[in-house]
Chains A and B, each alone.
Chain A
């Protein structure tokens, strides 16, 4: 069966520090991969999605970037965190663009 791993579960970082969140999927090949951010009372915002290695689509301009160095690995990064980057970050995967999303357990990021 397919599983998705996301880490770390929680992270506290100072303003201006770098960020790297990692997500890996097991049990499937060539999945679509997604990064969402969840802010209180605002639902989920799609940040990036990828349909293949090295293929990244960005949905909103921001202080973050994403990379897909391997088929089942998706990384969310920042060179310098802002206070506004605080939130709950969720990685997800789907078999293809027409299939439901399956989410990881999320990373709670607090920028101080």
Chain B
């Protein structure tokens, strides 16, 4: 079955610390992978996407993600977290050239302490 797993429901880090949010997927076709961020009471904003090429992709707000096919993972990273990064982060997977039925993970809530 197709699925996305974000094993960490809630993560707390100190401002300035590095961050890695985990995402594992199960998908029968070539995956098209996304990370979205959601601030409280807001919609989702696209951080980055991957469908081919360099397996390390850069996104907005200093985020990056690495696609590892052998591990079926697409982890999100940031070298130094800012307090404004506190939000909920969603990983999603869709079929290449068909994102009409994206599958979302259940999200990871990031809390940042000063």
Contact = CB atoms under 8 A, between A and B. Distances in A.
Interface of A: 6, 32, 34, 41-44, 46, 49, 51, 59, 90, 92, 94, 97-106, 108
B48 to A, nearest CB: 10
Given A41-B9, A46-B101, A102 B46 contact: yes
Contacts of B90: 43-44
Contacts, number: 60
A94 B99 contact: yes
Interface of B: 4, 9, 32, 34, 36, 41-46, 49, 90, 92, 96-102, 104-107
Contacts of B32: 98
A96 to B, nearest CB: 9
B99 A99 contact: yes
8 contacts: A41-B106, A43-B106, A92-B43, A92-B44, A98-B96, A100-B99, A104-B43, A106-B43
